[in-house]
Structure 1
């Protein structure tokens, strides 16, 4: 009740809730692809490579989210190209991008004068500091994800379930696979504002993993994952408000508990 009363009075809480709900849309759609395709490790490398772009942007006085967006897309394309061309060394490339991005980011942060408190917020999430421009960015990224998913849903479906057959039929699977990784990169940038860079993969995968246990089609999985993401972000924000806890970790704890309960429920039904 205290949270609901504060929500009616304070604009920053309204923006935080709106940001969490908007981010859940892209999270549910792209997270379903990540879970089905089993590319959470690639998504993790993209997420951690973002720190390099954020650190460089902070050093040169640019918006860190702009640097994150450029770094995320660049890392996605590099990792995807290495996976497609040099599959036998995929794990090494993923580890290299993961470590290199974080190392570059740390070096730029170390050379930036002053205490980089804003970057610390990006690392661990700062949902309560959501601004109107952040909401506009998340909404724009949601629109891009929805449009691309609507245009290439069948192609992405083929990438996830039967790429060899689609390749025989003449589809350029490499292009759609790289495009899918770009969508992952956009979602990573979107979720940084909600739960931070460190926890971004958990929020991307947990709602979709739960939804996958109770649905039989990719479209239904996406829809349920979106609803679960909204429930987790709204619930985590409400639970963390009164005790003044960081909202990002509370959201992930809530999603993690739900995942464990879903696994136990599924096992009990079996």
Structure 2
């Protein structure tokens, strides 16, 4: 009993751990929901690109005194538009263009951040600072996450059809281009909320791992979303606890737990398939 208390209850007697847990769960839920759409659309690399591309936008917003989310969304749009323009006017494939664009913007962001004279720890944007989140940052995470979840809930059928079959979505009269940019905007906003806690580098896993894990287990989109949320929340809580006891990075701990869950699910699924296949009578 004392061991259980020491592992699961005692860490949350500290206020900073309570804030970290709440932030991790909120970010885990919104990232899991968006993850399902990104996996369905095949936008895993797009999430990586936008996550890196928001950095110069945040740096510019800090320089001119704008809110970070505004700069991040604009920067994410520039990345997406630049990628589309280069793809349409060259023979290069999209993944190649993304690699060039987002790495260039990421480098520009790091360069700008290193030159900014401020009392804010902007390098936390790269590595995350889950255990040091202020009340203002936590409120921002909650507001942005709530906005993204509400929009996804209101338009989830349209987004699902767009991600699953864009041609069919166009035939039935859905505003495909509008949905494209709306999804990009939601992606950028989610990344802005998440990078304050887990950083630019680790946020990619939060946007991919839950959806992929759920995709392995089910073909139903609604069940996929529920499984993704469960996986993400479990990883967020477990990773936060592990980071406390090991005095390790909470972002890295959360991502490692997600990776472990995915690997375990994949192994168990393959074992189950093998058992079922061997149990079938030979014809």
TM over 0.5: same fold? Answer: yes
- SS of 1:14 mapped into structure 2: helix
1:26 is displaced (CA, Å) by 0.9
Displacement of 1:117? 7.3
User: Aligned pair 1:160/2:163, yes or no?
Assistant: yes
Specify every segment of 5 or more residues in structure 1 that has no aligned partner in the other structure, as ranges: none
CA gap of 1:164–1:103, structure 2 versus 1, over 3 A, is: same
CA deviation after TM superposition for structure 1 residue 33, in Å: 0.7
Q: Does 1:30 align with 2:34?
A: yes
- Work out the number of aligned pairs and report it: 267
Gaps of 5+ in 2: 274-283
The structure with more radius of gyration? 2
- For the pair 1:108 / 2:112, whether they are aligned, the reply is yes
2:121 is matched with which residue? 118
CA shift for structure 1 position 110 = 3.2
TM-score (normalizing by structure 2) = 0.85
Q: Following TM superposition, by how much is the alpha carbon of 1:151 offset from its aligned partner in structure 2, in angstroms?
A: 2.1
**Residue 10 (structure 2) pairs with residue 5 (structure 1):** yes
Structure 2 match to 1:206: 209
Q: Using a 3 Å threshold, how does the CA distance of structure 1 residues 140 and 85 change in structure 2: closer, same or farther?
A: farther
Q: CA RMSD in A?
A: 2.4
1:118 match: secondary structure: coil
TM-score of the two chains, using structure 1 as the length reference: 0.89
CA 1:86 to 1:153, structure 2 compared with 1: closer, same or farther past 3 Å? farther
Alpha-carbon deviation of 1:65? 5.3
Matching residue of 1:186: 189
**Whole-angstrom distance in 1 between the partners of 2:155 and 2:213:** 24
Work out the CA distance in 2 between the residues paired with 1:146 and 1:113.
Answer: 35
C-alpha separation between the residues in 1 aligned to 2:50 and 2:196?
A: 16
Is the CA contact (8 Å cut-off) linking 1:80 and 1:177 kept in structure 2?
A: no
Give, in whole Å, the separation in 2 of the partners of 1:156 and 1:82: 23
Aligned position for 2:58 = 54
Cα 1:46/1:79, change in 2 over 3 Å: farther
Change (3 A) 1:104 1:14: same
Distance in 2, Cα, partners of 1:189 & 1:138: 8
Where in structure 2 are the equivalents of 1:91-102 lying within 5 Å?
91-102=95-106
